Amino acid sequence: MTLAIIGAGWGRTATNSLKLALERLGYGTCHHMWEVAHDQDRLVPLWSAALDGRPDWPALFEGNRSAVDWPVAGFWRELAAAYPEAKFILTTRSPESWCASISETILQVIGDPEAVPEVARPVSRMARRAVIRSLGEDWSPETLIAKFKAHEAEVKASLPPERLLVFSPLEGWGPLCAFLGASVPEEPFPKSNHRDEFFANMDSIT
């Protein structure tokens, strides 16, 4: 089994909704930060090694055909080279709404990894490193928005159109299914991980 779908969109661009959609389309369990949080003993050391420049992609993505969200999105260039047949999905939203969303969720959690419940600290510390790798440590709105725009522009300029779908979940199943050659499900496109659900997911880490 090898990765077929890789998400280049940063956290808070509906990556969990995309995860659920890919699972519904038959890609099996999608690697996402929430998967890391619930398998910390195995995955946090592997991601920490990747952040140290020693990635073991086969071990990280064992059993996965798709992977989205951070830390994955921070390694999109490396993964494009490691998985040359994989397709990429860049989940997107307005830079301003993304900035507000990440400031109210992820950045609160990783701003002080020791403030989260002890059980969640390993993944929180690793997530802080992964996010800083993408965003740096200046989290002012102006800087975050500029980084977001630059990231999207770089992905679009670097990946050929046959490998890349720029996608907003507001578009529904159509563009995603056309890109993947999949049949369109009858149910609505998943909508998941709004702010309250994000913190409920944090509380569920054991």
Can you give the pTM of this predicted structure?
0.93
Angle between helix 121-135 and 141-158 (nearest 10): 70
Sequence-ordered list of residues with C-beta below 8 angstroms from that of 188, at least 6 positions apart, any chain: 172
Cα(100)–Cα(103) distance, integer angstroms = 5
Give the burial class of 13: count Cβ atoms within 10 A of its Cβ; 0-12 exposed, 13-18 middle, 19 or more buried.
buried
140 Ramachandran zone, left/alpha/beta (phi>0; psi -120 to 50): beta
Averages of pLDDT over runs of 10 residues in the chain (206 residues) are 96 96 98 94 98 98 98 99 98 97 93 81 94 98 98 98 97 98 97 62 57
CATH code at 5-201 = 3.40.50.300
Cα(65)–Cα(1) distance, integer angstroms = 7
Per-residue pLDDT tens over the stretch 122-139: 999 999 999 999 999 999
Q: Where are the domains of the chain?
A: 5-201
Per-residue pLDDT tens over the stretch 32-71: 999 999 999 999 999 999 999 999 999 999 999 999 999 9
Q: Which two tokens stand for residue 186?
A: 């009858």
Instruction: Please tell me whether the peptide bond between 71 and the residue prior to it is cis, using omega within 30 degrees of 0.
Output: yes
Any idea what the Cα angle at residue 19 is, between residues 45 and 102, rounded to 5°? 75
Alpha helices in 136-188 (DSSP H): 141-158, 173-180
